[in-house]
Chain A
Amino acid sequence: MKYGYYPGCSLEKNARAYHESALVVAKRLGIEFEETPDWNCCGATEYFAINALAGYALVGRNLALAARQKLNGQGNQLVAPCSACFLNLSKTDHYMAESPELAEKVNSALAAGGLSYEPGSVRVRHLLDVIVDDIGYMTVAEQVRKPLYGLRVAPYYGCLVVRPDYQHIHDEPEYPLCMDGLLKVLGAEVVDYPVKTHCCGGHMTQISEETALEMIRRLLKSAADYRADVIVTLCPMCQLNLDAYQEQVNKHFGADYHIPVLYFTQLMGLAFGASPKEVGIGKEFVDARPALAKIQEEPPQNAKQKRSRPPKGALPMPSMLSHHKGGGQ
């Protein structure tokens, strides 16, 4: 199956590890990517604050170029690994479909560059969704050569892949499970912690550092409370904030967190038998090697299936009715 591929600015450089590992994983899984030619920036969270129509036209150019790719002789699917790119592409497509007035104006702007875009003609996908939904856990399991036994991983979804979920991909935008399942298939021990869809602060590190550091601290604290060895992310912004600002969080709050933050594709690559270098390990600020050294040859013997109590001082997990003891039910 051939997909259009929109790497986005972050994957070109700052999130190069994501790009490289995504390509390694795609190759193993038989996913063929064809990069959208001459794509431009999606505008992140900045363009809509300055000029809405120009913001939509900026994204519209990418959609128009992707629609022209004519892959598989049918409706194109465009894969964006970055959360912000994924959101902006699907939001523009969605709002153009919802609002004929917006579609008309975006198309008038695109016409100035000899382009046009019919809403709905490109289906925007996130890489995680493609791997879980199109490829499936079974095919992923077949590729696992070096299972991640003994590694405690905290799947971190962040915001924009699960919310606002214009395409209704996720059954539960506040408690998604698709990456949890994927990491289990790789042999890792998945940590169930309560902040997996909380925000990393986005661009606030640049605008109000205080605000951002507190948001990052909450995430690191929760992952540490639940004894995660690694935080696993699907977004360049989340990776940057949690990884590159971890030292500042420690300084600011007198904390001592050392939790590496890796992309889910990096862990997939390692489990598939790729070398750490091939999947970009070493580009992170918080060294991932000590955590990765915890991976064992054999599955842990006494792997507890039972849900354990939250550690002292940690945010409680939302409790389900069936877990109440001695209630009236």
Chain B
Amino acid sequence: MNALTRASRASPQTFMQEVVAATPGGDTHLELCLQCGTCGGSCPSGRDMEHTPRQLFAMIAAGMRDEVLKSNTPWYCVSCYYCMVRCPQEIHITDIMYTLKRMAIKEGYYQESTAADAPDFSETFIDFVENYGRSFELGLATRYHLKHHPLSAIKMAGFGLGMLARGRMDLRPTKIQNIDQLQAILTKAKELSNGSFEPGGAS
């Protein structure tokens, strides 16, 4: 993603509005953040984050687009929903983290974060889902680890053998019967998402 593409996204929207618009599922309440810090205090992986969710929301309000999208914070969100049930303003925090992940991927920012491998894990996971309709652990682990952590592939191989020995891993992916139907649905969904719920809107 280059500066030109980024500039072409310039719109009268604030960054906050952009984040909210890209988060489906009703009112996110993001603009109601009180900066109380309950989210960060509840976060089990918070100590590895560059910014607590509270900080990140203040940065969103301040329009610090680059800093927010470069932050490793969304990638360290484990989707445990602790912050979400404790937030006094009922902000859809976990969903906003997902939105920030999508924005960071789309604009290429994540490559500068300390969690640069994370998007590829998600991409590889869904690649199997899109091709077979089911997840495929062996394929996911092999493809992802050989690409990103070849040195630890031996350790992973031991783990995989343990899984196989216990009959806990398939050697081959399972394909659903009506994969064509699923693919038609997903293709249509991606087509539709160009206009809404995705960062930047129509491109």
Partners in one complex: yes
Chain A contact residues, CB within 8 Å of chain B:
9, 12-16, 38-41, 43-54, 56-58, 60-61, 91, 94-95, 98-99, 101-102, 105-106, 108-115, 159-160, 163-165, 173-174, 198-199, 201-204, 206-208, 210-211, 215, 244, 282-285
Q: A105-B197, A283-B167 are in contact. Are A244 and B102 (CB under 8 A)?
A: no
CB neighbours (8 Å) of A106 from chain B are 189
Which one of B6-14, B30-38, B58-66, B169-177 is at the A interface? B169-177
CB distance from A253 to the nearest CB of B (A): 16
- Complex formed: what's the CA distance from A91 to B25 in Å? 9
Scan B133-164; emit 1 where CB is below 8 A from any A CB, else 0. Answer: 11101000100110000000000000100110
Scan B79-106; emit 1 where CB is below 8 A from any A CB, else 0. Answer: 1111011000000001100110110010
Most-contacted residue by chain A among B48, B170, B192 (CB, 10 A) = B192
Using a Cβ–Cβ cut-off of 8 Å, how many residues does chain B contribute to the interface with A?
A: 67
Is residue B75 contacting chain A, with contact meaning CB distance below 8 A? yes
Whether A159 lies near B193 (C-beta < 8 A) is no
Q: A14-B137, A51-B102 are in contact. Are A113 and B44 (CB under 8 A)?
A: no
CB neighbours (8 Å) of B79 from chain A are 45, 159-160, 202
Chain A-chain B contacts (Cβ-Cβ < 8 Å), number: 210
Whether B159 lies near A244 (C-beta < 8 A) is yes
CB neighbours (8 Å) of A112 from chain B are 184-185, 187-188
Q: A54-B186, A199-B78, A285-B166 are in contact. Are A98 and B133 (CB under 8 A)?
A: no
- Complex formed: what's the CA distance from A184 to B190 in Å? 48
Is residue B178 contacting chain A, with contact meaning CB distance below 8 A? yes
Is residue B181 contacting chain A, with contact meaning CB distance below 8 A? yes
- Complex formed: what's the CA distance from A13 to B137 in Å? 10
